[in-house]
Amino acid sequence: MSYEKELNAQQLEAVNCTEGPLLIFAGAGSGKTRVLTYRLAKLLENGVPPWNILAITFTNKAAREMRERVDRLCDGRAEDAWVMTFHACCARILRRDIEKLGYKREFTIYDEDDKMVVIKRLIKELNINDKNYPPRVVRAVISDAKNRMLSPEEWYAENSDARSKPYYKLYTEYEKNLKANNALDFDDLLVKTLELLTNHPPVLEHYTDKFRYIMVDEYQDTNVAQYQFVRLLSGVSQNVCVVGDDDQSIYGWRGADIRNILSFEKDFKGCRVIKLEENYRSTSNILNAANAVISNNSARAEKTLWTEKGDGDKIQLHHAIDEREEAAWVCDSISQLLRSGYEEKGIAVLYRTNAQSRVLEEALVRRGIKYGVYGGLKFYDRKEIKDIVAYLRLLVNPSDDVSLLRIINEPKRGIGSSTLDAISAYAEQRGDSMLNIIMEGSCPGLSTRAQTALRGFVELLTALAEKMMDLPLESFAKELADDTGLLGQYKNSKDPEDVSRVENIEEFLSAIAEYDRQNPSEGLVGFLENVALVTDTDRLDEHAQSVTLMTVHSAKGLEFDAVFITGLEETIFPIMRAMTEENELEEERRLMYVGITRAKNRLFLSHAYNRMLYNSRQSNPISRFVGEIPRALLSDGRTLERPLRLTPSSPTQKYNPDKPGLINIPGVSRGFSADKQPPAHTLFKAGDRVRHRSFGYGTVTEVRTDKHIVIVDFGEAFGIKMVDANMAPMVLAE
């Protein structure tokens, strides 16, 4: 097979480098998927058996795309290669050998909602104040500990103070609870796989012998556990190729460690490094803007994107009076694009936080522009779908108390909370699952009515279990939807929401039928695993004829003909905490780089002199990231020399005549003296309600008096924030 005509010189070099460690720095739009695909094909051409190849991606969508491309190149010869996500790979390894860790092979994978159910129940059982220890904070603490490979004891050794003890208790009981339920959470898929490989050398030997060639996509996004997983599997052959772009490392908040890619050469001696810098997506003006912005970061490998597409249009910069005028400008610009031949699906409007979409949506509705908000409720997160999945999970894994509690009274069958509390307490006393207690009928003190309802539930499950053994998966799923009443309770309703629920259940039945046709040997266990591993990133409808609204984070990996980046103001983009944390600021700059490089032909930037956001009126300076773009690349209808309004806690900005077209931002001028601020512990205490200028109302969960740091839970919109009490625009709520 000849690759010379399909690849540029650097891509071809990467494809032909098949032995030993290889680091590929792949800039945005530089064709990394093509390189990975052709490299896999090259391995097969060189005589490597497909079952000796492991190609790891971060999303199911990327895995599918790579699989489809390889199949076209190799006429299906790569069928036995593992091309999948980290979590799917770990789940497959665990299905084979998890019994060595004391679990059954039919384990359940808990999603974020399932984890919250367990945590809330444990907070109640342990009599812990959920105001001081909100469930969402507990979930984040546990997840962070697992991502750093820390057991409850190891975590507590790092945080051994009175404030941390309830977290330690909850983490410990959470682990016991999952084990009793024969369940793993998403983090466990990696943690338990590493435990299996580390503690059982024959298992590790099997997989290091099997995977002689390993490729990892998006390596800049790997966390500690994923890094160790790659190191373990590649330990013998050292034939590991990682592809990534340190300039697009934007997930530090969920454990990604940029040092993994920047230190790869040190970790793998004799590593070869290849840089892919030719961009096939964007025009020169867009790439030059991206290069100028990212060059201000210090923690990066030096590289410069270039293209042969030509200069293209200048970047449009709009200075809006407020958020509504900004939204009107966005609509006007989109209308002009549509009139000039652009399609709705080729246009994206990006923002830093989801809260910014409301005004944009209202403006688009008024103008009659079709749009879709990416990142809404996922299909498998809908109530009716989670209900039917819970029935299936319980039939596969009878130890799964979380699934049982979800569906034992769905649809209503007269089993109340007091009955369930009694069964749960008795099951814990007996060291057994709730379903076993129910099926035995051994729980004392239940009313005759409750016992009758429970017998009906047991009869239903028994009948379903028999059908599960006898019927094909598609037929069984249809029978379950009917027999349980899940479908019937919505069918006769004229409520539009109920009509939609019926349609969703029918779509689910179609999904299970399609999966069974494509994976006839996987069965129900395989389908449930597939459902658990689906992520929101995999669900963007690329065929939808509408403008896409999304956060910049969600846009990673995508591309559009025209892109708008809105809300480019200090404390919004970059966000507030980046004002004082250099690492945070560099990640925000990488996020801006990602946003810019989503655009193929047209890029639009906007800021507002004042903005209503989080229920408060703000007036923030233009983002420093705009100031880092050379003026020659911008078209804004006026100069940037007019002084921009400053506010306390905002970086000082001024026009720099030595660098025409650049806004220089030399440092932070807070508008008040930090040493005159009272110490944090005299201002706030755990449990206080506070009001923040940017994030609105929240609850203090912790005060760190040594550094004047206050940890605040700002609810669903903004989550947990770490703020400096000496600088943050935050006061006690009245």
Task: Show which residues are catalytic.
Answer: 32-33, 217-218, 248, 598
Q: One-letter amino acid identity for 162?
A: A
**Are the CB atoms for 68 and 55 separated by under 8 Å?**
no
d(CA 150, CA 159): 12
d(CA 320, CA 407): 51
Q: Nearest-CA neighbor of 338 among 383, 370, 292? A: 370
Q: How far is CA 333 from its chain centroid?
A: 31
d(CA 666, CA 195): 48
Q: How far is CA 405 from its chain centroid?
A: 27
Q: How many CB atoms lie within 10 A of CB 497?
A: 9
d(CA 14, CA 256): 25
577: three-class secondary structure by DSSP: helix
604: three-class secondary structure by DSSP: strand
**Are the CB atoms for 158 and 697 separated by under 8 Å?**
no
**Are the CB atoms for 38 and 15 separated by under 8 Å?**
yes
CB within 8 A of 410, min separation 6: which ones? 387, 486
Q: Nearest-CA neighbor of 102 among 94, 91, 93, 112? A: 94
**Are the CB atoms for 268 and 294 separated by under 8 Å?**
no
E-state strands within 626-688: 634-635, 650-651, 654-655, 663-664, 668-669
Q: At CA 90, angle to CA 205 and CA 135, rounded to 5?
A: 135
CA torsion angle 136 137 142 143 (round to 10): 70
The H or E element spanning position 606 is strand 599-608
In which residue are the tokens 């809105």 written?
Answer: 566
Q: Is 169 exposed, middle or buried (CB count within 10 Å of its CB: 0-12, 13-18, 19+)?
A: middle
257: three-class secondary structure by DSSP: coil
Backbone angles phi, psi at 704, to 5 degrees: -105, 100
Please confirm whether the linkage preceding 643 is cis (ω < 30° from 0).
no
First to last CA, the chain: 72
**Are the CB atoms for 481 and 388 separated by under 8 Å?**
yes
* Region label for 300, one of left (φ > 0), alpha (ψ between -120 and 50) or beta (otherwise): beta
Q: How many CB atoms lie within 10 A of CB 734?
A: 5
Q: How many CB atoms lie within 10 A of CB 162?
A: 6
DSSP code string of 52-72: GEEEEESSHHHHHHHHHHHHH
d(CA 176, CA 183): 10
d(CA 58, CA 426): 42
